[in-house]
């Protein structure tokens, strides 16, 4: 028995010994080889300079400020006089920094295996550093290197288009080696969409070093791929003009070439993207997220709103394509229709009615009953099918991140979402852009370009990517051209004839505009209310959203202007005047004459 115990212990001892020898001599060989190699050669990455973002006229929207970072030599003990005196010398020159925090930052990154200088201050501006530079460079434990920091010189003028960069986190760093080395990543807008392009590619230097970590020679060097710029279709001058027009209101404006080039896109109110570059304070963050007007939301592509009467042109084309309703047949409007055994009333906006209504008049005067009656003949599924092909309730494909698709409902959609059947009354209200209907302002602009040209463009903010031109893209949905011509004449009437719903704002322009107003209700009207309360008498957040969408010139469409004023009431009185000012500005700047519109920047 004793012999068996001795043999067992002896065997265990030798197994442990052999296992340890294996770990040291074989398994750890690769680790120690790399460590030895690292003692001879060093690879220093060269960070690329992030590309700039410019408007169509060469004005800078996103640039890089030149500055400096401060690094301290590794392997200094936390309690050493050398380290503490070095940090105190930094704080003496830059009193805004705390010595305790800098020491903590250093010790967190310090390691026996780290032979690289440790960054403790990420960025100091040129002006701040210039006086302190001669004093700090005397200390051999310090290394001062050039750095860049993203800066947005126009502040909040184009935030929802350009976006911003912010400090990267562990998840970002794990996905992208360049992000991990640079330390910043595009969070929103074009900065996010084109982050891979803008950030470029890392360069490097391979050097041979001595045992004391001094460079002996350079083995290899590769320059970084950098300065990959974006040139936009956006005109910053127009962005500024639109921001001025939206003061004291909230909403969206989209100005687009009919080929899809976005000339201006404003989501108002906005915010200063520079707040996020170095990390936003909790105070500023709370102000943004607690604002009921949602400045942080990119309403251009993510704001979802009932389209109201702006849907009527597409709805008419859907009726024609379905083959179930004749647009050549008039509808009689007495101010409402009744549905069901209870005689539920669906009212027209005009309590007196419009009488006999042909298609052109239905567009010009925005008669609801015309669309109610046709919708009952066609049905919601057919309506939805064609509206999707005209660009409503689907993503536009714009080169901006986090776009929402919205909703143009079907029976199957409602059953999946709410586990409820579809009702005829819901078809009626969907026909005038209410109920479940939700679209984005950019969808409306794109759909308007389709009405103007018969081609559905893919919107583009960017004109050139690192010098490469972005070509226009189109889809060509099927449509009835005869009825489209009538619809266009109705849109012309909206802006230019006495009974047009936008005539007051639009008729006195240097160009002829075709358009459509829309009022999308935020709250429903009770059945018992015979006379509707005026929008001005309602609480602000209960007022309807005001739409106006248009194109010009009427006879040769070049540009689309779509406006949404949140809780603005009526499109004709609130949104159309903003569009009129935009058209006047564009005409003055030569947009309709061929002047001042070329993109010169390479």
pLDDT digits (tens, 9 = 90+) for 141-176: 999 988 889 999 999 999 999 999 998 999 999 999
Domain with residue 228: its CATH number is 3.90.1310.10
Mean pLDDT of the chain: 89
Question: Do 244 and 139 belong to one domain?
Answer: no
Give yes or no for a contact between 369 and 356, defined as CB atoms under 8 angstroms apart: no
- Report pLDDT for 251: 95
Flag whether pLDDT at 83 surpasses 50.
yes
Mean pLDDT of 468-472: 95
One DSSP character per residue, 393-434 reads SS----SSSS----B---HHHHHHHHS----HHHHHHHTTT-
pLDDT digits (tens, 9 = 90+) for 232-285: 999 999 999 999 999 889 999 999 999 999 999 999 999 999 999 877 888 888
Nearest residue to 276 via CA among 192, 177, 402: 192
Domain with residue 574: its CATH number is 3.40.710.10
Q: Tell me, yes or no, whether 597 lies in a domain.
A: no
Per-residue burial over 237-248, b = 16 or more CB atoms within 10 Å of its CB, e = otherwise: bbbebbbebbee
- Report pLDDT for 29: 59
pLDDT band at 596 (very low <50, low <70, confident <90, very high): very low
Question: Do 455 and 573 belong to one domain?
Answer: yes
Question: Do 313 and 337 belong to one domain?
Answer: yes
CB atoms within 10 A of CB 14: 10
Flag whether pLDDT at 496 surpasses 90.
yes
Question: Do 267 and 196 belong to one domain?
Answer: no
> Which of 137, 152, 167 is the last residue before a domain boundary?
152
Q: Which residues, 6+ apart, have CB-to-CB distance to 122 below 8 Å?
A: 69, 147, 183, 278
- Report pLDDT for 285: 86
Tokens representing 162 are 């350009």
What is the Cα–Cα distance from 313 to 483, expressed in whole angstroms? Answer: 10
pLDDT band at 426 (very low <50, low <70, confident <90, very high): very high
Q: Which residues, 6+ apart, have CB-to-CB distance to 482 below 8 Å?
A: none
Mean pLDDT of 427-438: 96
Question: Do 51 and 106 belong to one domain?
Answer: no
Tokens representing 449 are 């370009």
Q: Tell me, yes or no, whether 32 lies in a domain.
A: no
Per-residue burial over 420-447, b = 16 or more CB atoms within 10 Å of its CB, e = otherwise: eebeeebbbbbbbbbbbbbbbbbbbbbb
CB atoms within 10 A of CB 185: 22
Q: Which domain holds residue 216?
A: 37-59+154-232
Q: Tell me, yes or no, whether 464 lies in a domain.
A: yes
pLDDT band at 527 (very low <50, low <70, confident <90, very high): very low
Question: Do 360 and 372 belong to one domain?
Answer: yes
> Which of 201, 216, 232 is the last residue before a domain boundary?
232
Q: Between residues 315 and 216, which one has the greater pLDDT?
A: 315
37-46, 412-421, 512-521: range with highest mean pLDDT: 412-421
pLDDT digits (tens, 9 = 90+) for 14-52: 777 777 776 666 656 555 555 555 557 778 888 899 999
Give yes or no for a contact between 191 and 165, defined as CB atoms under 8 angstroms apart: yes
Query: How does strand 53-54 pair with strand 230-232?
Result: parallel
Flag whether pLDDT at 419 surpasses 60.
yes
Q: Which residues, 6+ apart, have CB-to-CB distance to 518 below 8 Å?
A: 307, 308, 309, 310, 311, 433, 546, 547, 548, 549, 571
Task: Give phi and psi for 450, each to the nearest 5.
Answer: -65, -45
Query: E strand or H helix at 289, and its extent?
Result: helix 282-289
Percent above pLDDT 90 for the chain: 64
Question: Do 339 and 294 belong to one domain?
Answer: yes
> Which of 152, 179, 194 is the last residue before a domain boundary?
152
Mean pLDDT of 429-457: 97
Question: Do 77 and 97 belong to one domain?
Answer: yes
Question: Do 414 and 313 belong to one domain?
Answer: yes
- Report pLDDT for 158: 96
Mean pLDDT of 138-143: 90
Question: Do 143 and 159 belong to one domain?
Answer: no
Going from the C-alpha of 153 to that of each of 98, 162, 243, the distances in angstroms are: 29, 12, 16
- Report pLDDT for 33: 56
Q: Tell me, yes or no, whether 30 lies in a domain.
A: no
What is the Cα–Cα distance from 564 to 582, expressed in whole angstroms? Answer: 14
Flag whether pLDDT at 410 surpasses 70.
yes
Give yes or no for a contact between 235 and 57, defined as CB atoms under 8 angstroms apart: yes
Question: Do 417 and 436 belong to one domain?
Answer: yes
Number of domains in the chain: 3
pLDDT band at 115 (very low <50, low <70, confident <90, very high): confident
Question: What's the number of CA atoms in the CB half-sphere (13 Å) around residue 56?
Answer: 19
Q: What is the pTM of this model?
A: 0.86
Mean pLDDT of 437-456: 98
What is the Cα–Cα distance from 133 to 144, expressed in whole angstroms? Answer: 8
- Report pLDDT for 528: 47
Q: Which residues, 6+ apart, have CB-to-CB distance to 364 below 8 Å?
A: 490, 493, 494, 497, 499, 500, 501
Percent above pLDDT 70 for the chain: 90
- The mean-pLDDT minimum among 217-231, 305-319, 438-452, 571-585 falls in 217-231
- Report pLDDT for 193: 98
Q: Which residues, 6+ apart, have CB-to-CB distance to 96 below 8 Å?
A: none
Q: Tell me, yes or no, whether 6 lies in a domain.
A: no
Q: Tell me, yes or no, whether 9 lies in a domain.
A: no
Flag whether pLDDT at 209 surpasses 80.
no
Query: How does strand 251-257 pair with strand 203-209?
Result: unpaired
Q: Tell me, yes or no, whether 14 lies in a domain.
A: no
- Report pLDDT for 213: 64
Tokens representing 381 are 């599924």
Nearest residue to 467 via CA among 48, 49, 54, 46: 54
Q: Tell me, yes or no, whether 455 lies in a domain.
A: yes
Tokens representing 180 are 């991990």
- Report pLDDT for 155: 94
Catalytic residue annotation: 309
Question: Do 206 and 289 belong to one domain?
Answer: no
Tokens representing 579 are 């569009």
Question: What's the number of CA atoms in the CB half-sphere (13 Å) around residue 276?
Answer: 21
């Amino acid at each position: 028995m004793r012999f068996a115990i001795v043999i067992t212990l002896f065997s265990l001892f030798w197994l442990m010994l052999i296992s340890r020898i294996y770990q040291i001599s074989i398994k750890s060989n690769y680790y120690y080889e790399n460590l030895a190699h690292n003692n001879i050669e060093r690879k220093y990455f060269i960070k690329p300079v992030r590309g700039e973002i410019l408007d169509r006229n060469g004005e800078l929207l996103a640039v890089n400020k030149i500055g400096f970072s401060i690094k301290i030599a590794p392997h200094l003990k936390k309690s050493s006089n050398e380290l503490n005196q070095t940090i105190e010398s930094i704080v003496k020159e830059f009193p805004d920094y705390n010595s305790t925090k800098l020491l903590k930052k250093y010790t967190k990154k310090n390691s026996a295996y780290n032979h690289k200088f440790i960054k403790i201050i990420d960025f100091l501006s040129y002006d701040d550093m210039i006086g302190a530079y001669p004093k700090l460079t005397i200390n051999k434990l310090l290394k001062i290197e050039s750095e860049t920091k993203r800066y947005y010189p126009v502040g909040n003028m184009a935030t929802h288009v350009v976006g911003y960069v912010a400090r990267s986190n562990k998840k970002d760093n794990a996905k992208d080696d360049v992000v991990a080395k640079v330390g910043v990543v595009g969070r929103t807008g074009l900065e996010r969409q084109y982050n891979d392009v803008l950030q470029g590619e890392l360069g490097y230097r391979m050097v041979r070093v001595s045992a004391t970590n001094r460079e002996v020679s350079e083995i290899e060097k590769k320059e970084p791929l950098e300065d990959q710029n974006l040139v936009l279709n956006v005109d910053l001058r127009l962005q500024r003009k639109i921001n001025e027009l939206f003061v004291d209101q909230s909403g969206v404006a989209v100005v687009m070439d009919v080929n899809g080039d976005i000339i201006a896109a404003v989501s108002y109110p906005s915010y200063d993207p520079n707040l996020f570059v170095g990390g936003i304070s909790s105070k500023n963050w709370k102000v943004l997220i607690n604002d009921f007007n949602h400045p942080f939301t990119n309403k251009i592509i993510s704001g979802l709103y009932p389209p109201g009467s702006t849907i009527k042109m597409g709805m008419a084309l859907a009726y024609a394509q379905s083959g179930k309703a004749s647009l050549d047949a008039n509808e009689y409007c007495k101010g409402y229709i009744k549905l069901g055994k209870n005689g539920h009333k669906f009212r027209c906006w005009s309590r007196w009615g419009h009488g006999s209504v042909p298609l052109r008049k239905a567009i010009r005067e925005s008669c609801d009953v015309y669309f109610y009656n046709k919708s009952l003949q066609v049905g919601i599924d057919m309506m939805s099918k064609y509206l999707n092909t005209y660009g409503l309730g689907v993503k536009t494909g714009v080169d901006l991140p986090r776009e929402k698709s919205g909703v143009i409902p079907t029976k199957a959609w409602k059953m999946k979402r709410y586990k409820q059947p579809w009702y005829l009354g819901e078809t009626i209200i969907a026909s005038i852009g209410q109920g479940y209907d939700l679209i984005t302002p950019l969808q409306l602009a794109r759909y308007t370009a389709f009405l103007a040209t018969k081609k559905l463009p893919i919107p583009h903010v960017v004109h050139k990517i690192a010098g490469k031109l972005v070509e226009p893209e189109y889809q060509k949905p099927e449509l009835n051209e005869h009825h489209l011509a009538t619809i266009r004449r109705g849109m012309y009437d909206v802006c230019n004839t006495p009974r047009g719903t936008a005539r007051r704002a639009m008729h006195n322009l240097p160009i002829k505009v075709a358009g459509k107003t829309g009022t999308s209700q935020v709250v429903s009207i009770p059945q018992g209310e015979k006379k509707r309360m005026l929008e001005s008498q309602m609480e602000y957040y209960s007022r309807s959203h005001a739409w106006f969408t248009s194109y010009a010139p009427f006879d040769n469409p070049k540009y689309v202007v779509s406006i949404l004023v949140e809780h603005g009431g009526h499109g004709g009185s609130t949104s159309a005047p903003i569009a009129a000012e935009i058209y006047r500005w564009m005409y003055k700047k030569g947009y309709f004459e061929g002047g001042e519109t070329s993109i010169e920047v390479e």
